[in-house]
Structures are given as structure tokens and as C-alpha cells.
A and B are shown apart, each in its own frame.
Chain A
Amino acid sequence: MRYSYYPGCTLSSTGVEYGQSVAAVCEALGIELVELEDWSCCGSSSAHALDHELALSLPVRNIALAQPAGLDTLMPCPACYQRTLRADRRLREDETWRREMEALLGFAYDGQGRPRHLLDVLGHDLPAEAISSRVRRPLKGLKPVSYYGCMLVRPPKLTGWDDPEHPVLMDRLLSTLGAEPVFWSYGVDCCGGSLSLDRSDVVKALVGRLGAAAEEAGANCIVTVCGMCHINLDTRQQGTQIPVFYLTELIGLALDLPGWEKWLRKHFVDPLPLLQSLSLV
């Protein structure tokens, strides 16, 4: 299995352990990632907040870079994924705009290869046995709640996710690893996203509620596939100290891939005491 790869800015900064664990897990599972040469930022929340046209056009440069290979582009960050999907949709639907982009960026759009989120690829392209047959350390006793956040599942008319209110794909993968996913009603609630610094009071309120809800559900950890969600959950909990894992970190741990200790040391809420108490490490 081969994909073009767009890591996005977060995976070399606040989400560095996400980037490292994605690379390790994909390599172990035989998913070949070919990083787009000289990719640029998708514009994220800030571009659409201030300039609709800029927001739609910034991802087009990356779509153009992915074009020659004709492969689907794997994206671990839900914001990059969703912003690129929107740009790709407009390239498909607005011919005048497409011609303008093609002229400006020097490429010819052929619609081959689509933006794909990592979770979609792990859950749909990979046979379930590909992961289950490789598990060396079943994550017994780990009771995660799956946290999808906003950008991955919404808007459903764009992302086509299984169920925009109650997606189940992450639970399925976590069960494969031997963990015991816990039901909760907050999997697609918002963490406050980009308000992290400028209105941290809002993020604290929202993340505080998520932490309390996870605890009330009887979970002992939260699992995410988003760098923004991770840093908000890992640094802004109120009154709880629940470890927050990237899904790929848990896959790496279950498959006993080298590097997991280094990834987990990047966290603010130290997950090692939990893993030790469950005799997983």
C-alpha cells in the first residue's frame, strides 16, 4: 500500500510524537508513505477565519504537488484533511476557479488521488488482521474513550464519515489492540480548537467538561487522532489528569514498536503510571 504523505505543520512541532508514531506504525504495517516534496501549510482555521478565498486556495498547491504520483494523500491532521477536502471539492465543481488555480500554480488537475485521513486508511484500507496478527502486547485493562473532535467527521456531506454523531471506527481499532473502549457521548464534541491561546478560558471550559465526562464514563484514558485536540486535552484539563494518547502511539505500544517510550515522554499528563499500574510496561 502506497500513499502520498502530507504531514502538516503540527507534526513537526506540538504534535511531534504524533508524526513519529505515524511513521513507525505505517512502516510496521506495510503502508508506504511518500512525503510530498516541499509541501506548504494548508491555512488551517486562521485562513478561513479571515479570508475565504485564501483558505480555499492554499491547499491547492499541495494538491498540485500530489498530482504526478496519482496516489491518495494520507493526512494525519484532521484540519489539513478537511481544508484540503474543501479545496479539492471546489476544483471538481468550479471550472472557472480550477482554471485560475491551474494557471497560477502551473499544473493540470486530473482529479486522481484524494485527500484521506489516517484513521480512514487504517480502518478501511487495511484488513483488520493486518493489525490484530501483529499485536505483541494486548492493551488489557486500558479503557479509552475515542475522541474524534470536529474536523474529521464534519461536515458529513464533505467527509462522508460513518456516523457524524457517533462514529465507531476508532473503537473498533482499539478493540483490535486488546483495549476495552468505553462508551461516552462526547466523541465529536469540540475542544475549543484554535481558541487555545487567545481565549484559553473557553478551551479550559470545554476541555474541562471532556475530562469530567471521560472520568464519569469510567475511562482511564482519552484517544485522539488530532494534534490540536491533543495539546488542548493534554494541557488544559481542569481537575482531572487523564492521559491522552494518539491512536498511533497505542498501536505502536501494542505492536511493541521501538520508540513508544520516547513518544510518551513528550506528553504533559504522564501516561506511564497508568500503563505501569496495568502491568503493560
Chain B
Amino acid sequence: MPNTSFSEIIQTRSGEPLHTCYFCQKCTAGCPVAYAMDYKPAQVVRLILLGRRDTLLRSNAPWLCVGCDTCGARCPNDIYLAPVMDVLKEMALEAGLAPAEKKVYALHQSFLDSIKLWGRTHELSMLMEYKLRAVDLFTDLDLGLRLMLKGKIALLPERVKDLERVRALYRRVGR
């Protein structure tokens, strides 16, 4: 089996041409969450090209990326980092590493479980699952309560009739 480098794997899986990066750092300058990241977007690109796999799979940057695409819209070489960050998250999970932002992972996982269960998201059961997964029972309880009082969180889920087709899409990717 050919020894494919870390950066090649990421470029293939994400489809983003990282090798064309000028390191102009516009991505970092425009990223709304860069301030909270341990490695900033342009640094992530550089670390990928340097093959720093272990550093990146433990970084919180991929988990904090919200996919706003500001980086890509402003990149002189049309490199979008959200798909790159998504590949890094997938690779961290594939490697069996604990997600660097456990609550972020807990929310995404609860969201996907909700779709698999009902075909649509059901906030109430999804948030309960999230609270248990994140071991965070009390944050924002007041907000949740006020949302319910305003009729903005439904008690009962809306269940898709042809759920089998939705689940077939999950089975296809081994979920």
C-alpha cells in the first residue's frame, strides 16, 4: 500500500487545494471563532502541510469551526476550510480520540440521533439527550423553560412516515 501523506489524505477527502495556500492569513483574520481556537485557521493549514497529524487531531479548532465559510469566500485561492475541519473531526473520531470539545460533539451526535429516530429533529428529546451526553444538566434551563412557555419547543415529535428511507441513508454510512 502506498504511503500517502497526511496532507494528501486531507486534500483528497476534503477536495480543498491546500497546497496552493499563500499563508496570507485572511482566513484567520476573518474567522469569527479564531479567538477561541488553540490553532488559528491559517496555522491549521500550515500544520497539515507539515504533517502534524497528532497535534491537529487533538486541536479544538475543527470542533469550534461553525462552517460560516468566511475564510473560503475571502481566500485568494478559493480554499474553504470548513470541509477541511470536518475531515479533521472525522479523522479524530476514526482514531478513537476524545473530541477536543466534548459538548460540541455531544450536541452534533444528539442532533443526528434525533433525525435517525424521528426523521426530523425534535428539540425536547434532543436537548435531553444532549444534556445527558454533555453531563451538563443545568446550563440554560431557564432559557429552555421560557422557550417552552412561548410554545417554541414542541412536546411531541413530528415523525416521518417513510422513516425507513432516512435510516437507509444512515446505514449506508455505517451509522
Contacts and interface: CB of A to CB of B under 8 A. Distances in A.
B67 A49 contact: yes
Nearest to B78: A157
Interface string A183-196: 00000111011110
Given A41-B121, A54-B112, A150 B170 contact: no
Closest 6 CB pairs of A and B: A46-B111, A154-B69, A198-B103, A150-B68, A46-B108, A190-B68
19 contacts: A13-B153, A43-B112, A44-B111, A50-B89, A50-B93, A52-B86, A61-B169, A154-B68, A165-B73, A188-B70, A190-B32, A190-B70, A195-B33, A195-B66, A195-B104, A198-B103, A199-B103, A202-B36, A235-B143
A216 interface: no
Contact of A206 (B32, B69, B153, B154): B32
B107 A194 contact: yes
A266 B152 contact: yes
Interface residues on A, range: 35 or more
B39 to A, nearest CB: 16
Contacts, number: 170
B130 A266 contact: no
Contacts of B165: 40, 61, 104-106
A50 B108 contact: yes
B139 interface: yes
Interface string B122-138: 01000100100010000
A274 interface: no
A46 B130 CA distance: 13
B166 to A, nearest CB: 5
Contacts of A40: 115, 119-120, 160, 165-166
A164 interface: yes
Nearest to A189: B32
Nearest to A194: B66
Given A47-B111, A190-B68, A202-B36, 11 more contacts: A9-B120, A12-B154, A12-B158, A13-B123, A49-B67, A49-B104, A50-B90, A52-B87, A58-B166, A197-B140, A199-B36
A225 to B, nearest CB: 16
The interface centre, meaning the residue of B66, B147, B150, B175 with most chain A CB atoms within 10 A of its CB, is B66
Interface in B76-92: 78, 80, 82-83, 86-87, 89-90
